[in-house]
């Protein structure tokens, strides 16, 4: 009996350790980010561990949701999209949490050019570590093939600025980005990388249990890279699909509600197979 109990305890401990190794990722998801002609854009916003369809977390609401639009070298324009969001419940295997869904009408995104979509969530309280987290997230969409501001900083408290079109990557391309905090490069930033191995299902607002990837070891679930002296990160994309990059604790805000705050910068990119 005692032996069994100890075994169980050990298992629980191991489980706890393993689950704390999962990376937190704000997910801002829409199925296509390189579109010929805009349609109504279905969007979901959730906070989870996307490589494992893991634990769902309450992001603490959405503070800002907008797109910075630019076609060619025209004046960039801010398009507020927050009004299109409504709260939903997102279900992952074994876990549910409030999330957000919206349909951005075509008229908001029908112009050719780049749409740097920005989502600033509220604050998530991580009980185990007694800290708050806020992951400011970007995803860049292009309509019609005319490029714009995809490589320009938005001017967020912290962000990852891509140096390769994040909506036009082939499998095998190298993602290059610069990690910025208050517009300045962050040297030695710890950046976690995850693959969306459980594709979001927009009909059921859930991630499936089955993974598209077999992970040989926990270290492969969340890969870790560091920015160089000038804040640059480089990462070869080995598989088609969605890749998330999260630069941890780099933002200027370090405290919320009297507790430690990790203000992170996230960007999602999509790679496509050459056919």
The whole-angstrom separation of Cα 130 and Cα 257 is 11
Residue 168 within binding range of another protein, rule CB under 8 A: no
Candidates 9, 11, 72, 234; binder of another protein (CB under 8 A) is 72
Candidates 4, 5, 73, 203; binder of another protein (CB under 8 A) is 73
CB of 110 to another protein, least distance (A): 5
Q: Which is closer to another protein, CB of 148 or CB of 231? A: 148
Q: Which is closer to another protein, CB of 37 or CB of 257? A: 37
Q: Which is closer to another protein, CB of 97 or CB of 146? A: 146
Give the binding range for another protein (CB under 8 A) out of 47-55, 145-153, 156-164, 209-217: 145-153
Residue 143 within binding range of another protein, rule CB under 8 A: yes
CB of 20 to another protein, least distance (A): 44
Candidates 121, 147, 166, 251; binder of another protein (CB under 8 A) is 147
Residue 148 within binding range of another protein, rule CB under 8 A: yes
The whole-angstrom separation of Cα 99 and Cα 44 is 8
The whole-angstrom separation of Cα 254 and Cα 174 is 31
Residue 144 within binding range of another protein, rule CB under 8 A: yes
Candidates 3, 107, 217, 275; binder of another protein (CB under 8 A) is 107
Q: How many residues bind another protein (CB under 8 A)?
A: 17
Q: Which is closer to another protein, CB of 35 or CB of 266? A: 35
Task: Tell me the DSSP string of the chain.
Answer: -HHHHHHHHHHHHHHHHHHHTSPPEEEEE-S-SEESS---EEEEEEEE-GGGT---B----EEEEEEEEE-TTSPPEEEE-GGGEEEEEEEETTEEEEEEEEEE-HHHH-SSEEEEEEEEE--EEETTTTEEEEEEEEEEEEETT---STTS----SEEEEESS-TTSEETT-EEEEEEEETTEE-TT-EEEEEE--S--BTTTTB--SS-SS--SSHHHHSEEEE--TTSEEEEE--SSEEEEEEETT-SS--EETTEEEEEEEEEEEEEE---
Residue 111 within binding range of another protein, rule CB under 8 A: yes
Q: Which is closer to another protein, CB of 154 or CB of 179? A: 154
Q: Which is closer to another protein, CB of 150 or CB of 175? A: 150
CB of 232 to another protein, least distance (A): 23
Distances (CA, A) of 269 to 59, 104, 176: 21, 20, 11
Residue 229 within binding range of another protein, rule CB under 8 A: no
Is residue 223 exposed (0-12), middle (13-18) or buried (19+ Cβ within 10 Å)?
middle
Residue 257 within binding range of another protein, rule CB under 8 A: no
Site mask for another protein (CB under 8 A), range 24-53, x = bound: -------------x----------------
Residue 113 within binding range of another protein, rule CB under 8 A: yes
> Applying CB under 8 A, which residues contact another protein?
37, 71-74, 106-107, 110-113, 143-148
């Amino acid at each position: 009996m005692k032996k069994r109990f100890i075994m169980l305890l050990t298992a629980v401990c191991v489980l706890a350790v393993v689950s704390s190794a999962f990376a937190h990722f704000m997910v801002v998801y829409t199925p296509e980010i390189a579109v010929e002609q805009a349609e109504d854009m279905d969007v979901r916003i959730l906070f989870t561990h996307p490589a494992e369809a893991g634990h769902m977390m309450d992001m603490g609401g959405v503070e800002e949701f907008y797109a910075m639009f630019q076609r060619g070298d025209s004046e960039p324009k801010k398009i507020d999209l927050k009004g299109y969001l409504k709260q939903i419940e997102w279900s992952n295997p074994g876990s549910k949490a409030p999330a957000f869904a919206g349909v951005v009408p075509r008229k908001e995104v029908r112009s050719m050019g780049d749409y740097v979509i920005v989502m600033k969530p509220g604050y998530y309280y991580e009980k185990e570590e007694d800290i708050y987290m806020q992951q400011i997230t970007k995803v860049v969409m292009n309509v019609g093939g005319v490029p714009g501001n995809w490589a320009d900083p938005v001017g967020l408290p912290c962000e990852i600025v891509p140096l390769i079109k994040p909506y036009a990557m082939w499998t095998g391309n190298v993602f290059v980005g610069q990690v910025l905090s208050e517009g300045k490069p962050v040297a030695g930033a710890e950046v976690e990388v995850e693959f969306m191995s459980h594709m979001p299902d927009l009909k059921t607002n859930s991630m499936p249990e089955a993974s598209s990837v077999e992970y040989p070891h926990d270290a492969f679930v969340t890969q870790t890279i560091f920015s160089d002296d000038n804040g640059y990160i480089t990462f070869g994309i080995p598989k088609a699909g969605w890749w998330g990059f999260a630069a941890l604790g780099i933002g200027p805000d370090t405290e919320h509600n009297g507790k430690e705050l990790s203000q992170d910068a996230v960007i999602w990119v999509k790679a496509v197979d050459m056919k």
